[in-house]
Amino acid sequence: MPGTIHVNLICFSLVKYALGKDQLSVELPAGATTDELEAHVRELAGDALPTVPLRVAVNQRYAPAGAALSDGDEVVFIPPVQGG
Amino acid sequence: MVETRILDGPLPPLDDASAPGDGQDGAELLFHGRVRGTEADRPIVALDYEAYLPLAETELRAVAEDTAARFPVRSLVCLPRIGRIEVGEASMRVTIRSLHRTEGIQALAYFIEQLKDRVPIWKWGVTEQGERFPSRGGHGPPNP
């Protein structure tokens, strides 16, 4: 569909628990940012996702909040980590 | 020398970490993170560790190199584990060698703090009944 992009959202920890999925494809308007995707994820998850801060990684690197997304991007929202 | 490896299996024998070396190390710090029997105030039988591996490997390496650049350590080896780890077992080993103890102790403290802030590895508690629940994380005193 013109004017849209698809990103591959991979889920871990609290995000996986809240959404009940390891990953999902999300359609967004072209020009969408990680902030908009996070809002979408929080809406999907509802109360199941606690109000913890989420960092974001795009294509296997940490990205700044509000980073622009492109079609085919791999996105992971990172709840507070435990590091091992 | 910096070595980092995320292991989907047991840690290597301790002998590997305690080899004599070249005789220049005045201090060796050996740290094992271990699985406690409670998570979020609930009794558990194991923790199941998951990682976003591409980023975890990159960040783990970066944290180790940053630590080695800040403190004059002679070697730093970090081996976190993923997968199911029973209560009491070690989930991570860090070995640091240095000329003197002070820089080694400082490096270990710094390294662990950075690791627990940056490396995307998460814990799921596993109860005796088989329920799995994600840890809420956090980096304060209750979750050292």
Q: What does the pLDDT look like over B25-77, one tens digit per residue? A: 899 999 999 999 999 899 999 999 999 999 999 999 999 999 999 999 999 99
Task: For chain A, give the number of residues.
Answer: 84
Q: Find, among B111, B30, B99, the residue nearest to B70 by Cα.
A: B111
Quick one: pLDDT at residue A29?
Answer: 96
Quick one: pLDDT at residue B138?
Answer: 52
Do the chains contact at B80 and A84, CB–CB below 8 Å?
yes
Burial of B129 (0-12, 13-18, 19+ CB in 10 A): exposed
- For residue A57, list its beta bridge partners: A62, A76
Mean pLDDT of A41-48: 92
* Mutate: best of B7, B11, B52, B110, partner A, most A CBs <10 A: B52
Tokens matching residue B5: 């490896």
Query: Is A61 an interface residue toward B (CB < 8 Å)?
Result: yes
Phi-psi region of A56 (alpha: psi -120 to 50; beta: other; left: phi over 0): beta
- For residue A76, list its beta bridge partners: A10, A57
Chain A positions in Cβ-Cβ contact with residue B144 (cut-off 8 Å): none
Tokens matching residue B69: 């650049």
Inform me whether the pLDDT recorded for B18 exceeds 80. Answer: no
Pairwise CA distance, residues B18 & B32, whole Å: 14
- List pLDDT tens digits, range B95-144: 999 999 999 999 999 999 999 999 999 999 999 999 999 998 653 333 33
Inform me whether the pLDDT recorded for A31 exceeds 80. Answer: yes
- Check if the beta carbon of residue A47 is closer than 8 Å to that of residue A21: no
Q: In what order do the strands lie in the sheet with A23-29?
A: A23-29, A4-10, A74-78, A55-58, A61-63
Could you say which of B52, B80, B92 has the minimum Cβ distance to residue A12? B52
Quick one: pLDDT at residue B141?
Answer: 33
pTM: 0.91
Phi-psi region of A59 (alpha: psi -120 to 50; beta: other; left: phi over 0): left
Query: Is A45 an interface residue toward B (CB < 8 Å)?
Result: no
- List pLDDT tens digits, range A67-76: 999 999 999 9
Inform me whether the pLDDT recorded for A53 exceeds 80. Answer: yes
Distances from the Cα of B28 to the Cα of A46, B16, B19, angstroms: 48, 13, 11
Concatenate the DSSP letters of all residues of B51-103 into one string: E-HHHHHHHHHHHHHHHHHHS-EEEEEEEEB-EEEETTSEEEEEEEEESSHHH
ipTM above 0.95, yes or no: no
